[in-house]
Amino acid sequence: MLYIDFHKRLTALVLLLGSSSVLATSPVEPGGEYEQALELTPNLENGKKSYMMCTICHRPEGWGREDGMFPQIAGQLASVTIKQLADIRARNRDNPTMRPFTSARLLGGVQEIADVAAYIENLPMNPRNGVGSGNDLARGETIYEKECTECHGAQGEGDREDHIPSIQGQHYRYLMRQFEWIRHGKRRNVDPKMVKQIKRFTGRDVMAVMDYTSRFKLPAEKVATPGWQNPDYPKYARQPMPHTPYTPRYRRPVPPPRPASGMY
């Protein structure tokens, strides 16, 4: 019932916000808003006001959900958030849920993009993000060091200059879902070299490297204390969010049960 009620309210809000004046905006020139926002000096106070709209799904802390429905966005490099927001607005990334919330009418202009991205980067991160089973970490480490370090960094710290996302502290199930989407062409704004590179990964490879990635140790200065609540939103009603478990496409084969003695 909670799941239905949540999605009814979210759908109603999207429909309300998604009037023709919001959704029928013309495509933005690729790269235009991204480059403009990077040149601006962010205003964190204004970023706090802009982020209020984001709390509908991402909550005040920006910690996401272990089931992969929402990512941990707290602590994400501002250049990465700017790139993703600009890409959604320019129709370079498909995200129907976020699309109305990123519209100029609701979010604002380029300054607001810079402001909210800086605010998100300054949020302390969840010290207990979701991880995988831990059964194949050695394989995951080998794959990560060979295939992922060059771009994402040795500890998943990302690259601010090249807007490569930090994947430290990200939930395992979200990593799995995004990997599948990238692999099958649902994330159109991803580097084509990465799409080609990961095509050869087996199911075991994917689970192992995503599990390994989800366990990177966060820098001490970026970690919140357990149970931390964002003081910028003291009146926010933190009701439990519905649980929608994500089942990865990749599963280890389960051997058939051994027949009982005397069955044959």
Torsion angle, CA of 7/11/14/17, rounded to 10 degrees?
A: -120
Contact 169, 125 (CB under 8 A): yes
Where do we find the tokens 């995503």? Answer: 210
Structural domain boundaries enclosing 180 = 33-222
**What is the amino acid identity at position 187?**
R
Does residue 142 belong to any structural domain of this protein?
Answer: yes
Confidence at residue 55, expressed as pLDDT on a 0 to 100 scale: 95
Does residue 186 belong to any structural domain of this protein?
Answer: yes
Does residue 254 belong to any structural domain of this protein?
Answer: no
Predicted model pTM: 0.81
Contact 140, 156 (CB under 8 A): no
Backbone angles phi, psi at 164, to 5 degrees: -90, 125
Q: Give the model confidence (pLDDT) of 73-112 as tens digits.
A: 999 999 999 999 999 999 999 888 899 999 999 999 999 9
Does residue 241 belong to any structural domain of this protein?
Answer: no
Degrees to nearest 5, angle at CA 131 with 196 and 84: 50
Model confidence at 244: pLDDT above 60: no
Q: Is 161 helix (H, G, I), strand (E, B) or coil?
A: coil
Does residue 215 belong to any structural domain of this protein?
Answer: yes
Q: Which of 235, 218, 214, 216 is nearest to 226 (CA)?
A: 218
Q: Give the model confidence (pLDDT) of 246-261 as tens digits.
A: 555 555 544 544 544 4
- Residue 113 sits in a domain whose CATH number is 1.10.760.10
Does residue 205 belong to any structural domain of this protein?
Answer: yes
